[in-house]
């Protein structure tokens, strides 16, 4: 080493030391600042969760037949008595989860409403399916439980399973858990073996498709059924969980630059609008599902993929640079989507984005992820909550004006808003408890 090199090296070392000192104090300062910020987020989120729970406790219960009204106007008034099964199952699940895991919601009225919802579901939602000896769950029921419509998809069944499993954890009812597992077996068979029981005619032009929603929902159910379970139950679903993860990862397309909503069963891009469709909210939701798996399996590569591909890409491709907020649908080649609502801002993609970025930040402590969370938080809390009447509006125009002013409808129930607030509060609790 020459004198010059030595001097240079010494200077570099010295500079490096200074940098580390500075960086360390900056980090400390940043840490203190972010703790204050996280506390502010938690306060706002906690209040919003309380308001939301109160709104549904007050307006959605049907004392006559059990189950829940979900078509609730701005003030909470019931504008339609149809009972949508996705939303019945989701509300039972959410009530039970709050009751089981958060002290301030461990209240008899919440448990009783969940039980009444569960009883309504068990009594009325299962109807004979197209497959021999198989059951389907209806999509919608009359107030007194008569089936109105059946979808030829798996989603009513998914939310039925979610409800039954979580309710059985609260009540200890083993029959209920068994029912959830039996329905799960049937679901797996429809998805992985033979879809005939769903009732769709087999058509030569209707090629099998890997739609994001299917492996996502199955993965969500695996997480539910194995939560806190022993080695046996985890083992039972290990292969399915891996399959779901692989199916979800197939949606990374265009050389890793986009998440596409529908791909072929071999993971290739499909032709036309269906193949080019992007659904940023769905991708973000898949992102935090994958992140949970990555944490359980201590899989750093999966963590990176979840964040870079399923969070950063949908944000980059899906955030409206002009008006803020996430688009509902986009075409990866920039064509106009054919969905009339493509440019609307819906509440649920923003809920998923909040969970995704906060969870990603809590797992990595990368400041950029907290920044993303803050940005989504600011848009969301400025536009969706109804300060006057409580709960959130669900559907805004591209410019952020309320386009549909009800609080609940055929697809908006007691689920995305409280799940988001619940998940975020829990993540913030953990971060603030471990902040040193």
Q: Which is nearer to its own copies, 108 or 201 (CB)?
A: 201
Distances (CA, A) of 203 to 129, 155, 199, 206, 275: 20, 22, 12, 5, 19
Give the nearest distance from C-beta 293 to its own copies in angstroms: 32
| Closer Cβ to its own copies, 333 or 378, answer by number | 333
Of 392, 383, 396, nearest to 419 by C-alpha is 392
Tokens of 116: 């009444």
Q: Find the shortest distance in angstroms from Cβ 206 to its own copies.
A: 5
Q: Does 102 bind its own copies (CB under 8 A)?
A: no
How many residues belong to the site for its own copies (CB under 8 A)? 44
- Contacting its own copies (CB under 8 A), which of 35, 44, 199, 308? 199
Question: Per CB under 8 A, does 271 bind its own copies?
Answer: yes
The one segment of 4-12, 14-22, 209-217, 405-413 that binds its own copies by CB under 8 A: 405-413
Q: Determine, following the binding rule CB under 8 A, whether residue 267 of this chain makes contact with its own copies.
A: no
Alpha-carbon distances, residue 140 vs 63, 130, 195, 329 (angstroms): 19, 17, 21, 26
Q: Is 196 in the site for its own copies (CB under 8 A)?
A: no
Query: Quick one: which of 272, 366, 378, 430 contacts its own copies (CB under 8 A)?
Result: 272
SS3 322: coil
In the set 79, 175, 246, 430, which binds its own copies (CB under 8 A)?
79
Structure tokens at 219: 């993965």
Site for its own copies contains 64 (CB under 8 A): no
The answer to whether residue 209 forms part of the interface with its own copies (CB under 8 A) is: no
Question: Burial of 247 by CB count in 10 Å (0-12 exposed, 13-18 middle, 19+ buried)?
Answer: buried
User: Do 278 and 259 contact (CB within 8 A), yes or no?
Assistant: yes
Helix axes 213-226, 280-296, angle to 10 degrees: 40
Residue-by-residue DSSP string for 90-156 = HHHHHHHHHHHH-GGG--HHHHHHHHHHHHHHHHHTEEE-SSTT-EEE-SEE-TT--EEE--SSSHH
Cβ contact 239:222 at 8 Å? no
CB of 212 to its own copies, least distance (A): 19
Q: Does 16 bind its own copies (CB under 8 A)?
A: no
Q: Which two tokens stand for residue 263?
A: 């791909």
Q: Which is nearer to its own copies, 121 or 244 (CB)?
A: 121
Restricted to residues 346-365, the positions that interact with its own copies (CB under 8 A) are none
Stretch that binds its own copies, among 73-81, 355-363, 365-373, 374-382 (CB under 8 A): 73-81
* Residues sharing a CB contact under 8 Å with residue 193, sequence separation 6 or more, in sequence order: none
CA distance 242 to 240: 5
The CB-of-398 to its own copies minimum distance in angstroms stands at: 8
Q: Is 273 in the site for its own copies (CB under 8 A)?
A: yes
Applying CB under 8 A, the residues found at the interface with its own copies are: 71, 73-74, 79-82, 127, 138, 140-142, 146-150, 199, 201, 203-206, 271-273, 335-338, 340-344, 395, 397-398, 403-406, 409-410
């Amino acid at each position: 080493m020459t004198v010059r090199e030595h001097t240079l090296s010494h200077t570099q070392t010295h500079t490096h030391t200074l940098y580390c000192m500075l960086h360390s104090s900056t980090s400390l300062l940043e840490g203190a600042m972010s703790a204050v910020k996280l506390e502010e987020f938690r306060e706002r989120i906690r209040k919003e969760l309380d308001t939301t729970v109160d709104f549904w406790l007050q307006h959605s219960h049907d004392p006559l037949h059990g189950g829940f009204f979900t078509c609730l106007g701005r003030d909470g008034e019931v504008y339609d008595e149809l009972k949508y099964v996705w939303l019945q199952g989701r509300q039972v699940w959410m009530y039970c989860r709050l009751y089981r895991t958060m002290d301030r919601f461990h209240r008899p009225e919440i448990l009783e409403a969940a039980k009444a919802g569960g009883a309504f579901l068990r009594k009325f939602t299962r109807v004979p399916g197209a497959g021999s000896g198989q059951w389907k769950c209806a999509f919608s029921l009359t107030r007194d439980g008569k089936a109105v419509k059946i979808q030829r998809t798996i989603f009513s069944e998914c939310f039925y399973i979610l409800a039954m499993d979580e309710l059985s954890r609260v009540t200890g009812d083993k029959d209920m858990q068994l029912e959830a597992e039996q329905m799960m077996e049937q679901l797996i068979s429809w998805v992985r073996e033979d879809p005939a029981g769903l009732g769709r005619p087999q058509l030569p032009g209707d090629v099998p498709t890997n739609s994001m929603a299917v492996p996502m929902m199955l993965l969500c159910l695996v997480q539910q059924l194995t939560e806190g379970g022993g080695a046996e139950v985890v083992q039972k679903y290990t292969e399915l969980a891996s399959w779901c993860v692989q199916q979800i990862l197939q949606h990374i397309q265009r050389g890793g630059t986009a998440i596409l909503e529908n791909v072929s069963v071999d993971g290739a891009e499909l032709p036309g609008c269906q193949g080019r469709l992007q659904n940023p909210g769905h991708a973000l939701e898949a992102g935090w599902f994958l992140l949970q798996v990555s944490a359980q399996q201590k899989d750093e590569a999966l963590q990176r993929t979840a964040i870079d591909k399923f969070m950063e890409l949908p944000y980059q491709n899906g955030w409206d640079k002009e008006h803020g907020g996430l688009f509902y649908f986009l075409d990866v080649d920039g064509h106009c989507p054919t969905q009339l609502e493509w440019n609307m801002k819906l509440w649920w993609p923003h809920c998923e984005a909040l969970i995704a970025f906060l969870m990603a930040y809590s797992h990595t402590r990368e400041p950029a992820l907290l920044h993303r969370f803050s940005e989504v938080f600011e848009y969301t809390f400025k536009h969706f909550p109804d300060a006057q009447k409580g709960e959130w509006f669900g559907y805004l125009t591209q410019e952020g004006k309320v386009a549909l002013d009800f609080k609940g409808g055929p697809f908006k129930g007691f689920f995305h808003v409280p799940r988001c607030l619940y998940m975020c509060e829990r993540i913030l609790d953990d971060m603030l408890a471990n902040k040193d």
